Structure 1
Amino acid sequence: MTAFYHVCFVVPDIEQAMQDFQRSAGVEWSDPACDRLGEWDYRIAFTAGGPPFIELIQGPPRSPWDASKGARFDHIGFWTSDLRQGSRRLEEAGMPMDFSGCPYGRPFAYHQVDSIGARIELVDVSRQAGFLSRWHPGENPMAAIDETSRS
């Protein structure tokens, strides 16, 4: 099972990207959060209002979210009930794994899809409740889970 829940842009300036998205499309944003994965510190924000979400990531050079050559559409995110099987299926379909968060204790993987010039991100569904409580607080998380499962 996979369920679509977000699109992501990698940006060199998260505040500017949030302002531009808000002015152009009227979207509201969560406050950006700082996090670390391996050796990389990064900043991340999601749109408020529920799935599907827009994600912005500002990461350092040579990280999985390097925007030193400019902002770009980076990936489409899907929940998966079996990360290993989902990754194997994508690799067999000619979409090689580009990066895995698993060695860092984060159950997600990026797969390169050359035909769209971006990546597919698979995230283990075990992270869904925590994600929703952090980025979609005050809403019934089960309603959001049921909605993305129907996609």
Structure 2
Amino acid sequence: MTAFYHVCFVVPDLTPTMHDLQRAAGVEWGDPVSDRLGEWDYRIVFTAGGPPFIELIEGPSDSPWDASEGARFDHIGFWTSDVRHGSRRLEAEGMPVDFSGCPYGRPFAYHRMDSIGARIELVDVGRQAGFLHRWHPSGEPMPAIGEEPGN
């Protein structure tokens, strides 16, 4: 079971993108966070206005968030009650795993969805409370876990 909560753009530089989206759409941003996954250092930020969120990721070349060829729409994110089960279902539907954070101790997986030219991200709902604490501490609750994407 899953619930939609964000869209993500991979960008070469967070700062000008944050400014552009703030000017164009009036969105507010949390503070960018630097992190590391495997061999890749990256920066990430989410809008502060509540669901659905906009996520921006700035990652190095040859990483899952490589923007060396320019900014792009990267994925639609869903909370899931079971990343492995959801991944098996998406693979069976013809959406192969593009990258999994599970081997790095992060319960998420990206699946290619060629029909939209982007990925679907499944994130374990066990991370939701920490996500909300960081990015949406005073907001409304997230939607309940519902049907898998595509059902």
TM over 0.5: yes
Q: Which structure has more helix as a fraction of its residues?
A: 1
Looking at structure 2, the residues matched to 16 and 33 of structure 1 have their Cα atoms a distance apart, in angstroms, of: 16
Consecutive aligned runs of 4 or more in structure 1 exceeding 6 Å deviation: none
Q: Deviations over 1:30-89 (max 9, x none)?
A: 011100000000000000121110000000000000000000000000000011110000
Number of paired residues? 147
Which ranges of structure 1 fall in alignment gaps of 5 or more residues? Answer: none
Matches within 5 A, 1:119-138: 119-138=119-138
Aligned partner letter, 2:67: A
Larger relative contact order (CA 8 Å, sep ≥ 6): 2
Q: 1:144 aligns with which of 128, 141, 145?
A: 141
Paired position in structure 1 for 2:5:
5
**Deviation per CA, 1:61-118, whole angstroms, max 9, x where unpaired?**
0000000000000000000001111000000000000000001100000000001000
- Structure 2 unaligned spans of 5+: none
Cα distance in 1 between the residues matched to 2:136 and 2:127: 13
Percentage of identical aligned residues: 77
Alpha-carbon distance between aligned partners in 2 of 1:69 and 1:5, rounded to the nearest angstrom: 27
Aligned position for 2:88? 88
Are 2:70 and 1:70 equivalent residues in the alignment? yes
Query: Contact conserved, 2:9 with 2:57, CA < 8 A, in 1?
Result: yes
TM-score by structure 1 length? 0.94
